[in-house]
Amino acid sequence: MGFLILLVALAAASPAAEHILVYEDKGRFGGWPANHGIWSWGDEILVGFSAAWHQVKDIGRHQANSDKPEEPRLARSLDGGRTWKIETPPGLLPPEQGGRPIAELAEPLDFTNPNFAMTLRFTNIHTGPSRLHYSNDRGRTWHGAFNFPLFGQKGIAARTDYIALGKRECLVFLTASKQNGREGRPLVVRTTDGGLNWKFLSWIGPEPSGFSIMPSSIRLSTGRIITTVRVKEDPPNWIDAYASDDNGATWSYLNRPVPSTGGSSGNPPSLLKLKDGRLALTYGHRSEPYSIRARLSNDQGKTWSGDITLRDGAPAWDLGYTRSVQRPDGKIVTVYYFMREKHAERFIAGTIWDPK
């Protein structure tokens, strides 16, 4: 049974960081918020994650039973991330877990609805297909699952990363399989009719020899779009940034905000535009010291600070997949998965920190 989580201090990384327990359940592997998405409405925060099943394995693998399903969960906070309640909305269940049959979207979406939320999820990391769900009431009820196109690719591994440009216009940032069928290469697609039709817009960077996946994107007040991607080669892993000045039609390489995200294929970025115009980038570091980290930019992503350790003390690599939002008071809430012991269950945690 999932817990209704109260405020719990777990292990302070620094006096300025407050660590919160979001979800923990005996026998469960709570993981991968970056695969699901995060949304906020003032002090109301909603984040998705997977409730997989725990299984002790070799330490080089996820401590999760791959023969059992990852069940979708949501955690909601109404007080800026200090306390959380776990939700299991039936509208997010895939048909394989008893959810509604896959359908085609018949009514256009209103991306400007202030209570709108959309999530896109892959079914297979290499071949897809991917599916879309949406909510018009801050994620309390969900519609879907709806088919999402393959755009002529061998596979589309969708996570939740989108930028609304108008009532019916939206950009979605995705990962496609490479020509050899392996993951992956980032791309951006566009709808101008509320999601009834989607069209391929552009590739973000060249096809890599390893992978370049899991974009996290923001739009500046100038209209420039910046996206950050998780890059794996053999053995280096890092985060790259690209910029577009034509609403995603073309991209130029910007820089490498994070030169290393550690071993074990690294970790995805979570890029956030702050109220004062700065950018915050959070991620997990999968080499010793295993940790949750951040970097800041005060010049719209042209240069970046050094690492800010939000939380350390993890005993193994299997952590991170951050998603972050900024509260009305300026503090950032970063949600991720973490552990106390190498082979133990993973739990969902949050760190509330001040980006001053």
Structure token digits, residue 87: 């939700």
3-state secondary structure of 26: coil
Cis-peptide into 259, omega within 30 deg: no
Largest CA distance in the chain: 51
Q: Sketch the domain layout of the chain as residue ranges.
A: 18-353
- Residue 176 has which token pair? 């496609």
Distance CA 299, CA 317 (A): 32
Residue 342, C-beta contacts closer than 8 angstroms, at least 6 positions apart: 59, 315, 316
Does residue 40 contact residue 49 with C-beta atoms inside 8 Å? no
Nearest residue to 271 via CA among 207, 201, 215, 329? 215
Q: pLDDT tens per residue, the chain (356 residues)?
A: 343 333 333 333 444 899 999 999 999 999 999 999 999 999 999 999 999 999 999 999 999 999 999 999 999 999 999 999 999 999 999 999 999 999 999 999 999 999 999 999 998 877 778 999 999 999 999 999 999 999 999 999 999 999 999 999 999 999 999 999 998 999 999 999 999 999 999 999 999 999 999 999 999 999 999 999 999 997 789 999 999 999 999 999 999 999 999 999 999 999 999 999 999 999 999 999 999 999 999 999 999 999 999 999 999 999 999 999 999 999 999 999 999 999 999 999 999 999 98
On whether the CB atoms of residues 186 and 204 are closer than 8 A, the answer is yes
Partners of residue 325 on adjacent β-strands: 333
Cα separation, 105 vs 110, in Å, equals: 13
**Residue closest to 8 by CA, chosen among 338, 248, 354:** 338
The residue among 268, 278, 282, 293 whose CA lies nearest residue 214 is 268
Measuring CA to CA, how many Å separate 256 from each of 170, 228, 269, 302, 305? Answer: 26, 9, 12, 10, 12
DSSP 265: T
Backbone angle region of 102, left / alpha / beta, with phi > 0 → left and psi within -120 to 50 → alpha: beta
Query: Would you call 3 helix, strand, or coil by DSSP?
Result: coil
Which CATH class, in words, describes the domain spanning 18-353? Answer: mainly beta
Reported as half-sphere exposure (CB side, CA atoms, 13 A), residue 82 has a value of 6
Report residue 186 as tokens.
């980032």
Count of CB atoms situated within 10 Å of the CB of 253: 12
The conformation of residue 240, written as its DSSP 8-state character, comes to E
